[in-house]
Amino acid sequence: MTSPYPDFPHIPRGSRLYNEETMNRRREAFNEYFKTVIEQRKPVAELPRKYVVTRDNPHPPFLAFGFLRTIDQLFAYAQKHGLKDDEDPDEPLTPEFCVFPCLERLREVASEPYLSIVPVFSPTDEEVYVVTLYTNNTMCALQCTDEDEQDILQLLREELEIADPPMWYWDVRNQY
């Protein structure tokens, strides 16, 4: 088995290299590496040029533009508005199944059919999402005029009770 992280090769259990000292060194090395990842993946207000999709850069890392929400915040929003799971409306909604009902309501409130909710990178164990207007991969096709974009963002701010400005966030599916 090969490691997805080239700096951290797979050491099979039972190997003479698999011992407490080696594992502690590997754990420390990975933690240091992860700190650099966290530093590089902080949300940004402006999309850096190197992440814009161009002919010369057709597949940059995936970033989403919008408002950060935790799963708990989305679930509280769903409960506040009495949202139900379309597939099982008689059952109480749970946090695991609240994203799509929230998305449907937000699309309706903002009159924006392309609105999305995507999981994003978090340096903690907390499950976080971005209520997003577009990503760096879809902004050429989906970006509105500045005035329309500001109107939609304001509607979302009011609906979600958010004071913070929208930011660009790293999608959770990007590799370390």
The reply to whether 70 and 156 lie within a common domain is yes
The answer to whether the CB of 54 falls within 8 A of the CB of 130 is: no
The answer to whether the CB of 117 falls within 8 A of the CB of 169 is: no
The reply to whether 106 and 84 lie within a common domain is yes
The reply to whether 84 and 103 lie within a common domain is yes
The reply to whether 85 and 108 lie within a common domain is yes
The reply to whether 56 and 77 lie within a common domain is yes
Q: Do the domain assignments include residue 87?
A: yes
State the burial class of residue 166 (Cβ atoms within 10 Å of its Cβ: 0-12, 13-18, 19+): buried
Query: How many domains is the chain partitioned into structurally?
Result: 2
The reply to whether 24 and 90 lie within a common domain is no
The answer to whether the CB of 65 falls within 8 A of the CB of 43 is: no
> Rounded CA gap, 44 and 170, in Å?
9
The reply to whether 55 and 32 lie within a common domain is no
Tokens representing 102 are 């929230």
In order along its 176 residues, the chain shows pLDDT tens digits of: 444 545 555 666 666 666 777 778 878 888 788 788 778 888 999 999 999 999 999 989 899 999 999 999 999 999 999 999 888 888 888 998 999 999 999 999 999 899 999 998 877 778 899 999 999 988 888 777 888 889 999 999 999 999 999 999 988 777 64
pTM attached to this predicted model: 0.77
The reply to whether 93 and 19 lie within a common domain is no
Residue 126 belongs to what domain range? 49-170
